[in-house]
Amino acid sequence: MENMKRELFGMPLPQMQTAFAELGLKKFRAKQVYDWLYQKSVFDFDRMSNLSKGERELLRQTFSLLPAEVKTVRRLDSADGLTQKILLELPDGNAIETVLMHHDYGYSVCVSSQAGCDMHCAFCASGLNGAVRNLTAAEILTQVYVFNAALFPEGQRVSRVVVMGSGEPMLNFDAVFEALQFLHQPEGANISYRNMTVSTCGIIPGIEKMKALGLPISLAVSLHAVRTELRNELMPVNKGYPFADVIAAAEAYARAGGRQVTYEYILLAGKNDSDTDAELLAEYLRFKQASVNLIPVNPVPEKGFFRPDRKRIEKFLSILQKRRIHATVRKEMGKDINAACGQLRASYKAKL
Ligand code: SAH
């Protein structure tokens, strides 16, 4: 019976007003429920104290609220207390990872866009187990709101969202951007577009669609290699969308919105971390509205991926900087809890 109910979470207010009217409820009830959901992060109709008992009962029978149905099946806290990673089990049994990070400027959440991933990047754990399915907008929003609910008593809420968890957001374009637009609403999570980042492995039509949307959302591109053979090997997506074309599409996005693109570059010892790689990278990004985020890989020993030593990382960085490419080494958070894509999910699935 449960799955006969209509999902209310993530429904835009005008639709909610119509749905409430169809039930014979007063129109202003929709706004009240909306505030409980998105201002107070309350996902239990019975706790919505300004509704009558009868109204609460009617809503409970008619609608489901996804955040109340997901289960946190694992939770890991980093030793420094700044990063929390949870594994959420969806009603259909799929598990997805979400990470909360406490920065000095506020809280940011890294959401997954798909359960699993189909991109088969050699160094990534996201696609290791389980079939891939797109997440719905409600499932993406829920990842933010489970943390909002936990932060609410402290008077805090999430102020930044990065779509950098498991999955390829450009292959689930509609749901991802619907969720981000929902989070943007002042009466929703009130998160500014500038505080949202979508990271892609380089699906060019997605970058073009994002440009057409015209919202000031930040774009990140997972580059990781600038030699065709190596990138084909590390990221098979390169065979369909060669990286030079990806950079051109990303640059067009940057120019249209006046915003820099962040190029993520995982450093893999002995693979893509040579001086020549750094010089090539600088060559490709020269005069572009670009910054490079160097990420010492979260090692995947079974696949032969290791971190370069500190000296190598610094040399790579200095080559970029000498060539006037804006570059930083990613501040690492939660390494002790394996916050790399898909690692928690993979270990959970492996146990089932
Ligand atoms: N599909 C999107 C978003 C998910 S991956 C994309 O490719 O951008 C988010 C980031 O984590 C990507 O840059 C990805 O390459 C990186 N990543 C995956 N596995 C990693 C690992 N073992 N160590 C460090 N970063 C990793």
pLDDT in tens, 191-202: 999 999 999 999
Q: List, by residue number, the catalytic residues.
A: 97, 341
Give residue 124 CA to ligand 1 midpoint distance, Å: 6
**Helix then strand then coil, % of the chain, to nearest 5:** 45, 20, 35
Say whether 265 sits in a helix, a strand or coil. strand
Q: Atom 16 of ligand 1 has which residue's CA nearest to it?
A: 341
The low-confidence residues of the chain, meaning pLDDT below 70, are: 1-3, 129-131, 332-352
Q: In sequence order, which residues have a C-beta less than 8 Å from that of residue 151 and are 6 or more positions away? A: 107, 157, 158
Per-residue model confidence (pLDDT) at position 332:
67
Per-residue model confidence (pLDDT) at position 9:
97
Regarding the beta carbon of 338 and ligand 1, being less than 6 Å apart is answered no
Q: Transcribe 202-239 into DSSP letters.
A: --HHHHHHHHHHT---EEEEE----SHHHHHHH-GGGG
Q: How wide is the angle at C-alpha 208 spanned by C-alphas 203 and 209, nearest 5°?
A: 100
Regarding the beta carbon of 346 and ligand 1, being less than 6 Å apart is answered no
Of 345, 347, 343, 339, nearest to 80 by C-alpha is: 339
Contact 159, 108 (CB under 8 A): yes
Q: In sequence order, which residues have a C-beta less than 8 Å from that of residue 167 and are 6 or more positions away? A: 112, 113, 114, 115, 116, 117, 126, 132, 134, 135
Q: Which of 109, 112, 222, 297 to mutate to test the pocket of ligand 1 (most atoms within 8 A of CB)?
A: 222
In ligand 1, which atom is closest to the CA atom of 221? 8
Q: How many residues does the chain have?
A: 352
Query: How many angstroms separate the CA atoms of 266 and 277, rounded?
Result: 12
Say whether 4 sits in a helix, a strand or coil. helix
Of 101, 98, 103, 91, nearest to 114 by C-alpha is: 98
Q: Atom 21 of ligand 1 has which residue's CA nearest to it?
A: 298
Per-residue model confidence (pLDDT) at position 352:
42
Q: Atom 19 of ligand 1 has which residue's CA nearest to it?
A: 124
